[in-house]
Amino acid sequence: MSISSAAARSVRCSPNGVDTMLRLHGTKISPYYSRIWLQAQLKDLPLELVEAGPDDPTPDAMKARNPLGKIPFLEHDNRLFFESEVICEYLEDCFPEKPLRPASPEDRAKARLITRTLDLYVMPPLHALTPQIRAPQRDETLIKLLFTRIGAGLDVLATFLDRGPYAMGAAPSLPDCALAAGLWYLPCISARFRPDEDVREGHGAATAYWHHIRSAPVFMPTLNEMTTGYVAFRAALEARLAAARQNA
């Protein structure tokens, strides 16, 4: 387990008025972890990053404390919070300075709709592809169906991205954190099947949005850091698999 050295500072949580520590457990190549990391950067929250990947062989007592068995999870003032979007909302509630939720109920509903569209209609078919990566015999019919579903999810997302250049208009807000990390992640899986195709292309406003967000100064350095982390992760994974094949 490694802990980001720069970020361990105490912060004040407005509702209970106590100095407290924010620790985010997970890995930067997780789109769910990274949406919270991006949010913390936009809000200037001093978040301590604790590296704990889903396949991390290091025994991790904190990870074992998530009943969902997933990363990310947030440790705040000795309490644990699960599910990335719940954590993002919790942080907005605790730290209302630099709000990343729109002001009106109608716009909040729209912002949440955009994130839910990503979480319910784009990411699940992408994750369903994962077992096929190393399946002894890939199910090409299923793979085709899942790619169609990812595309359909992106097309629906495009209809909700009708403001621009950010999800809710001129300034970055909470759905941008989810979308930047989620759209960044798509080819990490999809390119394992279709290396010459970028699934983010050909989806109207969703594609235009991706082109904007990937080079927006507030997101680009972090997305680049995620890419560096992903390249290192893949290299280590391939080395581990090669060693296992040799020993078999």
Ligand X SMILES: N[C@@H](CCC(=O)N[C@@H](CS)C(=O)NCC(=O)O)C(=O)O
Residues that bind ligand X (CB under 6 A): 30, 32, 54, 69-72, 83-85
Q: Pick between residue 34 and residue 207 the one whose CB is nearest to ligand X.
A: 34
Determine contact, residues 193/143, Cβ cutoff 8 Å.
Answer: yes
| 60 vs 198 by CB, closer to ligand X | 60
Q: What whole-number distance in Å separates Cα of residue 164 and Cα of residue 213?
A: 10
Least separation in angstroms between residue 227's CB and ligand X is: 16
With respect to ligand X, which residue has the nearer C-beta, 89 or 107? 89
Phi, psi of 243, deg, nearest 5:
-65, -40
Give min distance, CB of 26 to ligand X, in A. Answer: 7
**Cβ closest to ligand X, residue 51 vs residue 85:** 85
| Concatenated DSSP letters of 131-173 | HHHT-SS--HHHHHHHHHHHHHHHHHHHHH--S-SBTTBSS--
The H-or-E segment that residue 215 falls in is helix 204-215
At 205, the amino acid letter reads A
In the complex, the smallest distance separating the C-beta of residue 162 from ligand X, rounded to whole angstroms, is 25
Nearer to ligand X, 30 or 39 (CB): 30
The pair of structure tokens assigned to 120 is 């319910």
Minimum separation from the CB atom of position 69 to ligand X (A): 5
Which stretches of 62-136 are assigned E, i.e. beta strand?
Answer: 73-76, 79-82
**4, 40 Cβ separation under 8 angstroms:** no
Contact 150, 206 (CB under 8 A): no
What minimum distance in Å lies between the beta carbon of 139 and ligand X? Answer: 20
Asked if 162 and 174 touch (Cβ cutoff 8 Å), the reply is: no
| For ligand X, the closer CB: 56 or 107 | 56
Strands (E), 122-224: none
Smallest distance from the beta carbon of 27 to ligand X, in angstroms? 7
